[in-house]
Amino acid sequence: MLRPGKRPTGAENAMIMKRVPHVLRQHWPHTHILLRGDGHFSNPELMKNVRGHLALHQSMVVQGMGPVVSSVRLFGEFDYAAKSWPQAHRVVLKAEALTGNNGLPAKDNQRYVVTSLRSPTPSALYQQVYCQRGQAENWIKQVKADLKSDRTSASSFLTNFARLLLTAAAYVLHQQLRVLGLRDTELASAQPKTVILSLFKIAVRVKQYKDRGLLHLPNACPVRTLLTKVCQRLVSARRKSAMPTSP
């Protein structure tokens, strides 16, 4: 979905979340969908239409905290309603005091999560449910930073859309490479950039034949054994997935 690179309004957030789950339900009708979002999603237009949990802005500051003695993390909850909210919502608080180390000063690290979920405890909701959003952001960063999905500077919408499709295809290829070729290796959980620099951006001697091309690696290539193993696995996977010939 392409949109201007600015903070969305509450009406825009609500519009998107009305359409996207409907499309997902057509393919996965029995899947539980849970929304996690940053602070700019905590607006009344969106909150009255979805079930999930959203971060609150850091304008809510813990008052009266004393001097930091040692690192400590506490969880709590309360009901809160901003002026623009039609009703109060459950807010989970993480209050954390960090001691300074390695030249860094001590500081307070508080977080607030507004949620429509009542059953999880404050610590379970924050640590086991909400913090999983960070991993999803890491996957987005891989597509953006490593595979350059933000290169959409063309003046044509279709051109930019085609670039995004190519980026998505590259990510699928990367995932397949990890599953089929890199399992149980030192690059099994590596990010796309690491895989590209380790396996693809290396010096080889190319020898061209009529029906094929050969890549000759130097004897001192540090990933020579790994490349051999990956190629053997990919060839084996291709043979297993090939369609059987007709009798």
Residue that has been written with the tokens 């190629």 in this structure = 231
Is 94 in contact with 75 (CB distance < 8 Å)?
A: yes
pLDDT of residue 55: 57
pLDDT tens, residue order, the chain (247 aa):
556 667 777 788 788 878 888 888 888 888 887 777 776 677 777 777 665 555 554 444 444 444 445 678 889 999 988 888 888 889 999 988 877 666 666 778 888 888 888 888 999 988 888 887 777 788 888 888 898 888 888 889 999 999 999 999 999 999 899 888 998 899 988 889 999 998 888 888 999 998 888 888 888 888 888 988 998 898 888 777 654 443 3
Give the domain ranges of the chain.
Answer: 10-137, 147-240
pLDDT of residue 130: 84
What are residue 26's phi and psi, to 5 degrees?
A: -65, -30
Residue that has been written with the tokens 């597509």 in this structure = 143
pLDDT of residue 98: 76
Cα distances (angstroms) measured from residue 214 to each of 111, 206, 208: 56, 6, 6
pLDDT of residue 77: 92
pLDDT of residue 163: 92
Taking the complete model, does pTM exceed 0.85, yes or no? no
